[in-house]
Amino acid sequence: MSECKRFKKLISDYLDDELSADLRVNFDNHLEDCPGCADTTSQIETLKDELKKLPQIQTSPDFDTVLRTRIRIESGIGRRRLHEIVWDWSAKIPVYGMAVALMIIAIVAVISQVNKPTRPEAYPNEIWIGGEPVENKTPNLIKESENYIEVIYEIDRIPPQNSLTNRDSIKNVRKDSSNEMNTSRIQRVNHRVY
């Protein structure tokens, strides 16, 4: 039995003439004595013949045409790739340029908005303190003199366009005839900065 197992491993070598002369003789001797191995060997020989005889199929009639088309398409794609890269970039440059220009314009607009004087242009002489007109602020101190009312504000922030320095300042507001301060008078303020 173990001998059959050993010879079964050699069946293909035997049938394919791959065995040495000695082994071939041994194999032949075994086949004479073992009908089982002889039967298996014979069937494998038949199997080999049957496999060789399997019908051959043919490619479809349009095989060559399809292949040529596929090659042409692929070659076309290969050429177009480079062309497309160049075209894409050349096409995109104006787009990108315009996008960058718009972005710059937007940034400039935003920056100019941020830095825009909060002071309305219509009232160039109006005093603004801490981002709002002075009339909205509550004075910290009011001192009356002969010709002026001295109004003192504590300023937290000085608008850029304002000539005031970043420190507390005193506004001298001209005292009008009714000895009251109003909005119109504020525009005529004679302010001094200490």
Indicate whether 93 belongs to the interface with other proteins (CB under 8 A). Answer: no
Indicate whether 60 belongs to the interface with other proteins (CB under 8 A). Answer: yes
Select the residue interacting with other proteins from 4, 25, 66, 107 (CB under 8 A).
66
Bridge partners (DSSP) listed for residue 150? 143, 172
Closest approach of Cβ 108 to other proteins, in Å? Answer: 52
Whichever of 48 and 192 has its CB closer to other proteins, that residue is 48
Indicate whether 18 belongs to the interface with other proteins (CB under 8 A). Answer: yes
Closest approach of Cβ 27 to other proteins, in Å? Answer: 13
Indicate whether 47 belongs to the interface with other proteins (CB under 8 A). Answer: yes
Distance CA 152, CA 28 (A): 127
Distance CA 76, CA 74 (A): 5
Whichever of 6 and 174 has its CB closer to other proteins, that residue is 6
Closest approach of Cβ 56 to other proteins, in Å? Answer: 5
Distance CA 29, CA 23 (A): 10
Closest approach of Cβ 40 to other proteins, in Å? Answer: 6
- Tell me which residue of 149, 148, 122, 147 sits closest to 133, measured CA to CA: 122
Alpha-carbon separation of residue 110 from 104, 107, 119 (angstroms) = 10, 5, 17
Whichever of 55 and 94 has its CB closer to other proteins, that residue is 55
Query: b or e along 82-94 (b: 16 or more beta carbons within 10 Å of the residue's beta carbon)?
Result: eeeeeeeeeeeee
Whichever of 71 and 85 has its CB closer to other proteins, that residue is 71
Tokens of 75: 């070659």
Binding to other proteins in span 131-160, by CB under 8 A: none
Q: Which helix (H) or strand (E) holds 171?
A: strand 169-174
Residues engaged in binding other proteins (CB under 8 A): 8-13, 16, 18, 40, 43-44, 46-48, 50-52, 54-60, 63-64, 66-67, 70-71, 74
